[in-house]
Amino acid sequence: MLSPNTAQQVIDHALLKGADFAEIYIERHLSSNLRTLNNDVDGVQSGIDFGIGIRLFFGFEIFYGYTQSDDLKSLYGLVDQLTAQKQAVDSPLKVVEFKSPVIQRLHRDATKPLSVASFNEEKVAFLRKAHAAA
């Protein structure tokens, strides 16, 4: 688990990096599974899921990341990645003019192809023939 001292250091680091508020989530889940088939044991599984999530608030913007490591260096690194992401979002955008190419039309538009009754009859006959062959 994460010591209160380490959690405080990570939160302080986030605030020093410019976050208005920081939260740390810790999850540790033990799971076990036993499967049977025809009254025989078919499989046994067990495991521990562990992770630490950090959420940083910058005004109305929220950045979230997680890691499976609980050492201080990894947690600082995660905070640094999140604050770098925030800085990337804040950087001015390069405006690129969108030029729509002129496309030469090679085909005529179909005009109500399903309104031709004889064509529909051909389609229905074809579908019935395919169904009978299947």
Quick one: fold of 4-90?
PmbA/TldD fold (3.30.2290)
Q: Do the beta carbons of residue 63 and residue 82 sit within 8 Å?
A: yes
Predicted confidence at residue 128, as pLDDT, reads 82
Structural domain boundaries in the chain: 4-90
Q: What whole-number distance in Å separates Cα of residue 91 and Cα of residue 2?
A: 34
Residue-level pLDDT, tens digit, the chain, 134 residues: 789 999 999 999 999 999 999 999 999 998 888 787 777 778 878 888 899 999 999 998 999 999 999 999 999 999 999 999 988 877 665 666 667 777 777 766 665 555 555 566 777 777 788 888 87
